[in-house]
Amino acid sequence: MEQSDLERIFNDFYALPAETEWLEFKEAKDGYHFDKIAKYFSALSNEANLKNKEHGWLVFGVKDNPRDIKGTNFRPDRASLDSLKHEIAKNTSNGLTFVEIHEITIQGHRIIMFQIPPALKGMPTSWKGHFYGRDGESLVALNPAESEQFRLQTNQEDWSAKICKEAKLEHLDSDAILFARDQYKSKHPKKAEECDEWDDITFLNKAKICINGEITNTTLLLLGKEESEHLLLPSIAQITWVLRDEQNIDIDYSHFHPPLILAVGHVYDKVRNLTYRYLPNQSLFPTEITQYDNWVFRETLHNCIAHQDWTKSAKINVVEKPESILFTNVGHFIPGSVEEVILRDAPPDQYRNPFLANAMVNLNMIDTIGSGIKRMFRLQRERYFPMPDYDLSDPERVQVRLTGKVLDENYTRLLMESTDLDLMDVIALDKVQKGKSLNEDEHKSLRSKKLVEGRRPNLIISADIAAITGSKADYIKQRGFDADHYKTMILSYLEKFYEASRAELDELLIDKIPDALDQEQKRSRIKNLLQ
């Protein structure tokens, strides 16, 4: 590459407002050790692949934050500098033998530019056996969402678009096709009259469920007859509903098969969707709503269908307990985090089953504009119910729990009184009521708005909010008293009875300790008081 080209590239990089996932500046002062930055060859190579860049870049001789050209004396001998190529190739998977090392002069300062090739398709680059990526400007381990993107690169075939040569029109359910037509017309009202004139094959082609009149896996999954399910083997086209009691013992179950466009309604009909009553603040009349909103339930289950990894030969599970429902589908949550989906409020970059997802959009089952999950959270907020719980701890599956009751009346009153709360703050407050930990940004936001107090993870609704929402007594129960109050109680007990066992002191104090703590934490608090 010509010096003039390198200078132009450098100037473009230098003008960027911040480092990117595929660009890193290092000052590389005298005595700088290569081991300090070796992991960046893995991270920048991987990010170049994921961001569709021709190269990743590591630039020596530039101080960042604030950005300033300093120059570097790192390995001033060219032969010593070139020897890095062997070390990089030896310690990286896929052998990054094509790393180019450029030296240029900018404003009289020596600059080194490492030009790093992107990771191979489907094969992330590691450094000494560990895979690295970038979170903004930070070096981190390659996260599960990015690992999934690499995995998908090796599986370019979309299972949902695959033609099933053995399937014919007679393998499809006529009631499902009629229902699909109604849904299509609801989604595309301008085509309603035209749709009524189409024969079934024309309709299936127009709705992008079939391809040139041929039956796809998507067609069979959504519209196929139950007895045609074998045509999808080894994939298991099944939703299993299980009812469990408080002790987690199975007391009922049902299996639902294609056509899945109809099965979702049948699963919903199985659920014990009881009427829930609560008193809005300063009201004598109870509000009555069902435990589970119809739209939220269907959106959750439709997402399970759209994002299930159907190549894994696994079914979708819906487990109902007295006051919650747990949905589980196989396959990693590709966007990475729910917060990312809500903040971005835009279509994801990738779909596991793009043909299936597009068909479900046309049939009014899901929405690819990225607002489905956000709307779920918004509807739960409007109902004053807990937010949906996404458990993404297992990289092989996604679990979503809907809670069908009010968990914390303080939280509910806060939502009723504070209708202007930002949705991200509502989600953070939901974590507080569930006793979950907050990240630094969530905690900082709630603190700055004086919504919570206490120490993490035992946060409670603040005194100001308790006063507004009429929950001052609950606030005192949650907050408890200062240490001197409890010590006075202990001393009074001893002055009266002269002695006390630990069990007796537990009995004296445990129901006076803040309700924000669990039983074990309460006992630990008493132990600290006694010490």
Q: Which residues pair with 24 in a beta bridge?
A: 58
* Cβ–Cβ under 8 Å, residues 430 and 387: yes
Range 486-505 burial, b when 16+ CB lie within 10 A, else e: beebbeebeeeeeebeeeeb
How far is the C-alpha of 96 from the C-alpha of 124, rounded, in Å?
11
Which range has highest mean pLDDT (29-33, 110-114, 512-516)? 110-114
pLDDT band at 471 (very low <50, low <70, confident <90, very high): very low
Q: What percent of the chain has pLDDT over 90?
A: 43
Q: What is the pLDDT of residue 184?
A: 95
* Cβ–Cβ under 8 Å, residues 470 and 476: no
Nearest Cα residue to 201 out of 210, 192, 193: 210
The token pair that represents 259 in the structure block: 């056509």
User: What is residue 57's DSSP assignment?
Assistant: E
Of the two residues 255 and 509, the one the predictor is more confident about is 255
Question: What distance separates the 2 farthest-apart alpha carbons in the chain?
Answer: 93
Rg over alpha carbons for the chain, rounded to the nearest Å, is 30
Peptide bond connecting 144 to the previous residue in cis, omega within 30 degrees of 0: no
Q: Per-residue pLDDT for 292 more than 80?
A: yes
Give tens-digit pLDDT for 205-247. 999 999 999 999 999 999 999 999 999 999 999 999 999 999 9
Q: What is the pLDDT of residue 222?
A: 97
Q: What is the pLDDT of residue 279?
A: 60
* HSE-up (13 A, CA, CB side) for residue 464: 9
Give tens-digit pLDDT for 122-162. 788 888 888 999 987 888 998 887 887 887 776 567 899 99
For 57, list phi and psi in degrees, rounded to 5.
-135, 135
pLDDT band at 469 (very low <50, low <70, confident <90, very high): very low
Nearest Cα residue to 54 out of 112, 5, 107: 5
Q: What is the pLDDT of residue 457?
A: 61
Range 22-44 burial, b when 16+ CB lie within 10 A, else e: bbbbbbbeeebeeeebbbbbbbb
Q: Per-residue pLDDT for 390 more than 60?
A: yes
Q: Which ranges of 318-366 does DSSP label H, i.e. alpha helix?
A: 338-344, 354-362
Q: What is the pLDDT of residue 470?
A: 44
- What domains lie within the chain, and their CATH numbers? 3-153 (3.30.950.30), 159-232 (no CATH), 239-409 (3.30.565.60), 410-479 (no CATH), 483-530 (no CATH)
Of the two residues 71 and 465, the one the predictor is more confident about is 71
29-38, 39-48, 341-350, 354-363: which has the minimum mean pLDDT?
341-350
pLDDT band at 67 (very low <50, low <70, confident <90, very high): very high
Q: What is the pLDDT of residue 160?
A: 94
Which segments of 227-357 are extended strands (E)? 239-244, 250-256, 275-278, 287-290, 316-321, 324-330
Of the two residues 187 and 121, the one the predictor is more confident about is 187
Give tens-digit pLDDT for 345-359. 655 656 788 899 999
Q: What is the pLDDT of residue 422?
A: 75
pLDDT band at 373 (very low <50, low <70, confident <90, very high): confident
Q: Is 45 exposed, middle or buried (0-12, 13-18, 19+ CB in 10 A)?
A: buried
Pairing of strands 56-60, 23-26: parallel
Range 468-480 burial, b when 16+ CB lie within 10 A, else e: bbebeebbebbbb
With H, G, I as helix, E, B as strand and everything else as coil, classify residue 320: strand
Q: What is the pLDDT of residue 81?
A: 87
Amino acid at residue number 141: A
Q: Per-residue pLDDT for 478 more than 60?
A: no
Mean pLDDT of the 318-330 span: 95
Of the two residues 102 and 395, the one the predictor is more confident about is 102
pLDDT band at 14 (very low <50, low <70, confident <90, very high): very high
pLDDT band at 3 (very low <50, low <70, confident <90, very high): confident
How far is the C-alpha of 117 from the C-alpha of 99, rounded, in Å?
6
Of the two residues 135 and 203, the one the predictor is more confident about is 203
Give tens-digit pLDDT for 429-464. 777 777 777 777 777 877 777 776 666 566 656 555
With H, G, I as helix, E, B as strand and everything else as coil, classify residue 83: coil
Give tens-digit pLDDT for 93-104. 765 556 889 999
Mean pLDDT of the 400-413 span: 78
The token pair that represents 492 in the structure block: 């009074």
For the chain, give the mean pLDDT: 83
pTM: predicted TM-score of the whole model, two decimal places: 0.61
